[in-house]
Structure 1
Amino acid sequence: MGKPSVYKQELTGGRPRERRVVIVTDPAQLTLWRSLLTGTEPTSAAPVVLRRHDHRSLRGWAQRINMFHTEDRLDRLYELTGGWPLLVDRAHRLHEGLGDPDEVLRRLADLRADRAQDRAFAEATGVYADQPLAAGYRALTDEFKGDLFDLEGAVTAVALKIDDEDEARWIAGFLDVLQVFDREDTQLRLEPVLRESVALNG
């Protein structure tokens, strides 16, 4: 979801006399995610996925907190964070401590070269939540690197790696939920900040 108001609407939405339960979950509950995303069990539950920032929402965030005012700084911030909330929050904390946006951007670039920090970030995204998911992500990085592909191409690349098309479809779908793809019209590309982090850590 792109903005907080949509999330608030989801929290308060529903019908009179109807109970509404909101569960905040993460990749550690893969069994729950599988049943929600594949529809293997009848349920009225519908997942609401929190999204990475895009350029527009990152600009709105920067305006709200009164930081990173210029276009070139915002472009560099997006390049260094990929819009990942964990990295955007790191930039915010650094700015609160340093007060200098250019120094914050330099520190973020240094942190991107730190293997331990990069590994912690990659793990926080959920791509290492289980072995098949990690293998699927590696299959995509091996096959496509920074090139464009479509979701069916992703399924095929993962299926060739793990030799199970149904599992490959689930993995590609869950990776999509984890925000590992940037969208360009109907095409996908592996989000570069995560792709480079995974490559750095092997």
Structure 2
Amino acid sequence: MGKPSVYKQELTGGRSRERRVVISDFVNYRVPVRPETCREALDLAETLLPVTPGVTRAVVLVTDPAQLALWRSLLTGTEPTSAAPVVLRRPDHRSLRGWAQRINMFHTEDRLDRLYELMGGWPLLVGRAYHLHEELGNPDEVLRRLADLHADRAEARAFAEATGVYADPLLVSGYRALNDEFKDDLFDLEGAVTAIALKIDDEDEAGWTVNCLDALQVFDREDTQLRLEPVLRECVALNG
């Protein structure tokens, strides 16, 4: 739903025994969306209910780091709301293999291993790999082009910014605190909060920062332990 009037109409619409999903995508609006607009959409979803009995209705709001004010309340649970954040996860090595099989590209195990090493499962880079393969038709040349990202400062900065790590100064400070403390070593959530709290001298803000960085997918998980995802870590380090 785009226009607020249409959105409100769809929130209350529906026929008896109908199951409906109303989607409002704030990421792909033609103009930047103000935080209060997204917050209002959430409030309306909770207050404007279907007028016809028997209608089952869900609402999906698609947001990005431009809506960090809304993320804060949802990720930290500081406000009473029925809304629940759903974080889109980066593909892992196994799902990347399934993707490569579906599109009939990067067939060999060594290429798949190298592909994951260079992309880390980041959707932006997965899309780049696909389009490069369509353009070049040579998987080894695609891998070479992807490797250039790790050496080109401007490309690395653009990628890091696209992940959302630079969306707020607190996120950048928190990320760098984790990198300074742990580098490529494993750590847990408590250790992450402590490392950032020591940097910014605020434990509550450190907890929020870790939650937000986790939502941005900057961590790889190994059981209950975390590690900074290598591709992003290398790109951030390239820009100091």
Whether these two folds match at TM > 0.5 is yes
Give the aligned partner of residue 68 of structure 2: 30
Aligned-residue offset at 1:198: 0.3
Q: How do residues 136-147 of structure 1 correspond to structure 2 at under 5 angstroms?
A: 136-147=174-185
SS of equivalent residue, structure 1 residue 83:
coil
Aligned-residue offset at 1:17: 1.6
Give, in whole Å, the separation in 2 of the partners of 1:18 and 1:128. 39
**TM-score by structure 1 length?**
0.91
SS of equivalent residue, structure 1 residue 182:
strand
Residue deviations 1:129-183 (CA, integer Å, cap 9, x gap): 1101110001001110000100000000000000000000010111111110101
Relative contact order higher in (CA < 8 Å, ≥ 6 apart): 1
Aligned-residue offset at 1:103: 0.8
What amino acid maps onto 1:32 in structure 2? L
Largest Rg, 1 or 2: 2
Give, in whole Å, the separation in 2 of the partners of 1:110 and 1:168. 34
What amino acid maps onto 2:172 in structure 1? A
Which of 78, 93, 105 aligns to 2:131? It is: 93
Query: Gaps spanning 5+ residues in structure 2: where?
Result: 1-20, 23-53
Give, in whole Å, the separation in 2 of the partners of 1:111 and 1:143. 25
Aligned-residue offset at 1:89: 0.6
- Quick check: which one's helix share is greater? 1
Aligned-residue offset at 1:18: 3.4
What amino acid maps onto 1:74 in structure 2? L
Give, in whole Å, the separation in 2 of the partners of 1:110 and 1:132. 29
Structure 1 ranges of 4+ moved more than 6 A: none
Give, in whole Å, the separation in 2 of the partners of 1:110 and 1:165. 38
Give the aligned partner of residue 108 of structure 1: 146
Percent identity at matched positions?
A: 83
Give the aligned partner of residue 5 of structure 2: none
Give, in whole Å, the separation in 1 of the partners of 2:119 and 2:231. 7
Give, in whole Å, the separation in 2 of the partners of 1:161 and 1:116. 27
CA RMSD of aligned residues (A): 1.6
Query: Gaps spanning 5+ residues in structure 1: where?
Result: 1-10
- Quick check: which one's strand share is greater? 2
Give, in whole Å, the separation in 2 of the partners of 1:186 and 1:60. 25
What amino acid maps onto 2:208 in structure 1? W
